[in-house]
Structure 1
Amino acid sequence: MRRSWPTLLTGLILFAIVVTLFIPVPKVIYQAGSAEPVHPRVETGHKLDEKGALLFTTVSTRSRPNIFQVWYAQVNPRMEVKSQEEATSGATNLTAYRNLLSWMRDSSENYALIAAYNVINKPIDVKEQGVIVYNLLPESKARENGLQEGDIINKVDGKEANTVKELSAYLSAKKAGDKVTVSGTRGDKPFEATVPLIKMPSSNRIGIGFQNDTVLKVTPPDPVKFDFNDTGGPSAGLMMTLEIVAQLTGDDLSRGYRIAGTGTINADGNVGLIGGINYKLMAADREKADYFLVPYNEKNLSNWTLAEKTVKDLKLSPKLVKVSTLKEALDFLRKLETKKG
């Protein structure tokens, strides 16, 4: 019995609805996240009554959206769509990327502590306790042998390797094609991978073939606690540092204003560039921020240029402030006249 056209049409429509609303696609949608006070998320054991607020800002992302959500984001000037590969910088998988983001967050907390204690001239204990796999090089054979971005290595062939120097020294005695077994942690679980070595493309050294960074254990003299487990990435570093300084010195750096900002921080107090500053500005504007601290680098004006364009195009209200260092941020805040009312 032949199906009628109305039945076929209804079936096609239902199929289209299912595909549009329920089938995820390998894309990531970006939009304004949050602009929240840092104060409730940082405890130092020192009380501080803030009249205003220091706000850390985030980007909201939605992984594997449906087709309708992608279409809506593409026509919305306050949203953006990227491929999953582009969004994760080519990470092995989403789990690896999320592990890397979690380490970045933890690292930003550590460097916020170091920078804050350095700027107020108080000692702080810092120890190296591992090597993070930041990015696997195209020439590396480690990915297909089980190593992932975000893995933290602290042993090689059963020997301690808590620093980049220790790992490099052990590998230097090897030759290309040799295999080594690295082990450590992947997220909150142990991992082990046996990987072949290569001659590094930028030098004659022998290595596994990944960009690395040091995993730190930082122990401050005060009972500092952070509550940023629902976030990822390093871009709250500057605002964390300012809050720590404010609490430890008893100086309300907000001066009664709502001061948002973003930027990585390193041990020397240098402020680094970040991604998604346009979405962070949108969040700050929504939360009625008076000022926005923008990472500024004379050799790379991308953050500043995009911040100016976003404020102009979307008619946002926060006043932009260039900051290249923690000292510049502190100088600006300390010179603000206390907000009346």
Structure 2
Amino acid sequence: MSRRAATLTVASVLVLALALVGSLMPVPYVALMPGPTSNTLGVNDKGQPLIRIDGRQTYDDTGHLNFTTVTYRGGPGGRIDLFTALRGWLDGDTAIVPEETVFPKDESQKQVDEENTRQMQDSQESAEAAALHELKIPITTQVVVDGVQKGRPADGKLSPGDEVTALDGAKITSVAQITGTMAKRRIGDPVTLTIVRGGKESKQTLTTVADPTGKRPVVGIVLGDRYKFPFKIDISVGDIGGPSAGLMFSLAIVDKLTPGALTGGKFIAGTGTITPEGEVGPIGGIQQKMIAARRAGATVFLTPKDNCSDALSARPDGLRLVRADTLHGAVESINALTSGNGAVPACTK
């Protein structure tokens, strides 16, 4: 063999070896894939009702109202290799996205998982509130301290779990009410919060300081609305996290509390966050969720309006997209689908 041929052979082997090693190197990307889909009208993996209502008459429905999920591979604790990422790019069912879109740079994987769990819990409570609001069943709202910022005026005086019942003597019934009142204060003004902790009421007077922008007065607390329901609603989904099942939870609760079968026996799936007032919000991973729904047997997919454009470009065959702006609108759309009467809003770009 000539020296030239030998050199080319060695170089080729080195290039191949480097390519092989490079393909196995971890890369900062995450693979998103279709995840499990569960019927909110059915049972969970333990054979128990996924949504159980005690203290109120309920009604059965043999149809499906499935929420959908996305599963992932990768992340700071176990990055995928370049070969896996390339294979995912070629797979129509998988989305390869930058790691920071799933795991913010300033958060660990554990923190992201904990945040997803908290979002699921908040989503369930919002879904319950939205459903009862849709059915005009009265509920009571509480304002609760979710967190206290270190070094701020509330530090050491208020604690997570405290219920705030009044601001400067005026009764409080929502976080929005406090936000609106605080917007009228000036930095350095005192505010008096009436709180309930362990069944005992007390008052705390705090002097406001500037927020990080230097423009708004704050005392350093994170507040959340909590609700008292007239009967018990339990939602059991295991270790699934995130807020995107809110719409489907609300629909199932409405269905269970209303005579007759909302689905009319149809297999309906969907996704979307929900506010206590019934507003539907967008989610991530719409393509993978549609694939999961169609594979499970869904023929109708409820889609948040802000996800419609992406959904239309990747809609699986046999899956009808129905735009969902609000819980009330979603209920009306399902009624129109099952009765054959009325308009059903479709996704448009």
TM-score by length of 2: 0.69
2:259 and 2:187 map into 1 onto residues whose CA distance is 50
- Partners of 1:213 and 1:259 lie apart in 2 by 37
> What is the aligned partner in structure 2 of residue 27 from structure 1?
29
Matched letter for residue 61 of structure 1? Y
Q: Secondary structure at the match of 1:44?
A: strand
Q: Does 2:317 correspond to 1:316?
A: yes
Structure 1 position 231, deviation (Å): 1.4
The equivalent residue for 2:72 is: 61
Q: Give the 5 Å matches for 1:1-80.
A: 24-39=26-41, 40=43, 41-45=50-54, 46-63=57-74, 64-80=79-95
Is contact 2:147–2:159 with CA below 8 Å preserved after alignment?
A: no
Find out whether 1:200 has 2:212 as its counterpart: yes
Instruction: For residue 61 of structure 1, give the secondary structure of its aligned residue in structure 2.
Output: strand
The residue aligned with 1:92 is: 107
**1:217 to partner: Cα distance:** 3.4
CA RMSD of aligned residues (A): 3.8
The alpha-carbon deviation at position 100 of structure 1 amounts to 1.8
Q: 2:300 aligns with which of 291, 297, 303?
A: 291
Partners of 1:12 and 1:171 in 2: how far apart? 67
Letter in 2 for 1:295: P
- Give me the whole-angstrom Cα distance separating, in 2, the residues matched to 1:77 and 1:208: 49
Aligned CA distance change for structure 1 residues 331 and 132 (closer, same or farther; 3 Å): farther
Matched, 1:157 2:156: yes
Q: Which amino acid aligns with 1:85?
A: E
CA 1:220–1:15: 2 relative to 1, 3 Å: farther
Aligned residue in 2 for 1:229: 238
- Structure 2 residues not aligned, in runs of 5+: 1-11, 44-49, 165-174, 190-208, 341-349
- Structure 1 distance, partners of 2:159, 2:186, is 13
Distance 1:214 1:12 in 2: 58
What is the DSSP-based 3-state SS (H/G/I as helix, E as strand, rest coil) of the residue aligned with 1:294?
strand
Q: Does 1:252 align with 2:261?
A: yes
Does the aligned pair in 2 maintain the 1:282–1:316 contact within 8 Å? no
Shift of residue 28 of structure 1?
Answer: 1.4
Identity fraction in percent = 28
Contact 1:59 1:276 in 2 (8 A): yes
Q: What CA distance in whole angstroms lies between the structure 1 residues aligned with 2:216 and 2:157?
A: 22
Q: 1:208, 1:90 → 2: CA distance?
A: 28
1:184 corresponds in structure 2 to none
What is the deviation of 1:114?
0.7
Aligned positions, number:
283
Distance 1:207 1:89, change over 3 A: farther
Tell me, yes or no, if the aligned pair for 2:36 and 2:70 is still in contact at 8 Å: yes
Shift of 1:215: 3.2
Deviation at 1:227, TM superposition (A): 0.9
Counterpart Cα distance in 2 of 1:132 and 1:258? 41
Task: Say if 1:132 and 1:214, in contact at 8 Å, map to a contact too.
Answer: yes
SS of alignment partner, residue 243 of structure 2: coil
Q: Which amino acid aligns with 2:297?
A: K
Q: Secondary structure at the match of 1:249?
A: coil
Question: Contact 1:288 / 1:318 at 8 angstroms: preserved in 2?
Answer: no
TM-score by length of 1: 0.70
Q: For 2:331 and 2:285, how far apart are their aligned partners in 1?
A: 24
Shift of 1:199: 4.5
Using the TM superposition, give the Cα deviation of residue 102 of structure 1 relative to its aligned residue in structure 2, in angstroms.
Answer: 1.4
SS in 1 for 2:126: helix
SS in 2 for 1:217: strand
- Check 1:324–1:132 CA distance in 2 against 1; reply closer, same or farther (3 A cut): farther
Task: State the distance in 2 between where 1:78 and 1:323 align.
Answer: 24
